[in-house]
């Protein structure tokens, strides 16, 4: 049986007691699985990641995860503006296997040697996904990871992520119900 990489049991959370985002919410992700969280803005999708990352604490319940990395919707907030991309990736990973992944993602060496503001949003988002995959996490959190990409690149990047599932589980936040249905083992609708 595959390892459980994320366990959320009976979690309740809200920024105010009158406006709870989660009440008795439970979820688990195993290696080899992609689970998608779908729902409109404001229902708590990104807050769920904040809870998993420990940036906010639930009122009650339990959240356990194994080694993880994440890709956020806004790639410009994921990189320091004054360091080249390669150095920022090398700070957190050995870069082992980067050339093959980079080629699969349509990136070139020049992209890695650039400052973040020199890249398009789509290029920078692919660099963010590259960094997350090179970290070899057991749990990958993806918050609208393909929103900065055109349709063809969206499909190619999601195919690549699906091909990396050996030893990793994925929790995906998306507004795209079609994408969620296509790539996930289970879709959880919030709101």
Geometric angle at alpha carbon 46, from 4 and 79, rounded to 5°: 95
pLDDT, tens digit, 9 for 90 and up, residues 90-125:
999 999 999 999 999 999 999 999 999 999 999 999
pTM score = 0.93
Is the four-CA dihedral 64, 70, 76, 82 of positive or negative sign? positive
pLDDT at 147: 81
Question: What are the helix and strand counts (H, E) for the chain?
Answer: 7, 8
CATH 3.10.450.750 fits 4-189, yes or no: no
- Tokens encoding 142: 């993806």
Closest CA to 75 of 15, 44, 118, 45: 118
pLDDT, tens digit, 9 for 90 and up, residues 158-184:
999 999 888 899 999 998 888 899 999
CA separation, residue 168 to residues 20, 136, 175, 184 (Å) = 31, 8, 23, 14
pLDDT, tens digit, 9 for 90 and up, residues 126-151:
999 999 999 999 999 999 888 877 77
43 pLDDT exceeds 80?
A: yes
Mean pLDDT score across all residues of the chain: 93
**What share of the chain has pLDDT > 90, as a percent?**
74
pLDDT at 55: 95
CA 147 – CA 61 distance, rounded (Å)? 31
């Amino acid at each position: 049986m595959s390892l459980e990489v994320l366990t959320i049991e009976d979690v309740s959370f809200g920024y105010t007691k009158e406006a709870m985002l989660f009440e008795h919410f439970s979820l688990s992700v195993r290696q080899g699985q992609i689970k998608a969280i779908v729902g409109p803005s404001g229902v708590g999708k990104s807050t769920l990641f904040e809870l998993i990352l420990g940036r906010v604490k639930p009122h009650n319940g339990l959240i356990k995860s194994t080694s993880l990395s994440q890709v956020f919707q806004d790639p410009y907030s994921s990189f320091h503006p004054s360091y080249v991309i390669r150095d920022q990736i090398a700070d957190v990973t050995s870069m082992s296997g980067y050339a093959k992944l980079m080629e699969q993602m349509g990136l070139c060496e020049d992209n890695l040697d650039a400052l973040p503001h020199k890249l398009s949003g789509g290029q920078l988002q692919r660099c963010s996904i590259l960094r997350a995959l090179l970290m070899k996490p057991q749990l990958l959190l993806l918050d609208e990871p393909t929103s900065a990409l055109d349709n063809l690149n969206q499909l190619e990047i999601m195919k690549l992520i699906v091909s990396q599932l050996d030893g990793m589980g994925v929790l995906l936040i998306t507004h795209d119900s079609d994408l969620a249905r296509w790539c996930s083992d289970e879709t959880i609708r919030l709101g």
